[in-house]
Amino acid sequence: MQSFKPIGWYLKEADSLITAAFNNAFESFGLTRFHWQLLRNIADNGEIYTKDYYPQVARFITPETFQAIVSSLTDRDWISVHNDTCRFTASGADVFVEIEERQKLIREKMLEGTGPEDYAHTLLFLDRVIQNLRTLPQVQP
């Protein structure tokens, strides 16, 4: 019988390796995984409203880091920000295509040997764990 490590080890190891792989892939652009996520959200939605988007990433980055990411993309003229709404500039839309190609290569390698059903089952499993733990009563000392 195969011996497994605790689930937390797999979660942290996967997250650490995913972050390192994407940071390495985006390094030549001076981007991190969090820059990519913001750009991906703009690409998917046409725009993002920073006050709605930040709570989605607040667990992982501080408000100052988030603002630095937005500022760095604005300084490069990849996004414009008006009334807290971020959109691609023409040059940002162009460079996104190149960045997305690198992201696709990492994602393909990351998911090699798995199928869509594996991915879906993993997400369903993790979502169930999260929901179960959110309803766990707090133990009083």
- For residue 127, pLDDT over 80 is answered with yes
CA distances from 136 to 3, 6, 10, 107 (A): 27, 19, 22, 34
Share of the chain above pLDDT 90, in %: 80
> For residue 97, which amino acid is it?
V
Residues in the chain, overall count: 141
pTM of the model: 0.77
Structural contact between residues 48 and 86, judged by C-beta atoms closer than 8 angstroms: yes
Residue 40: pLDDT band with limits 50, 70, 90: very high
> Would you say the C-alpha torsion 110, 19, 32, 84 has a positive or negative sign?
positive
- In this predicted model, what pLDDT tens digit does every residue of 62-101 receive, in sequence order? 999 999 999 999 999 999 999 999 999 999 999 999 999 9
- For residue 140, pLDDT over 70 is answered with no
The HSE-up count of residue 79 (CA atoms within 13 Å, CB side) is 27
- Does the domain at residues 7-134 carry the CATH identifier 1.10.10.10? yes
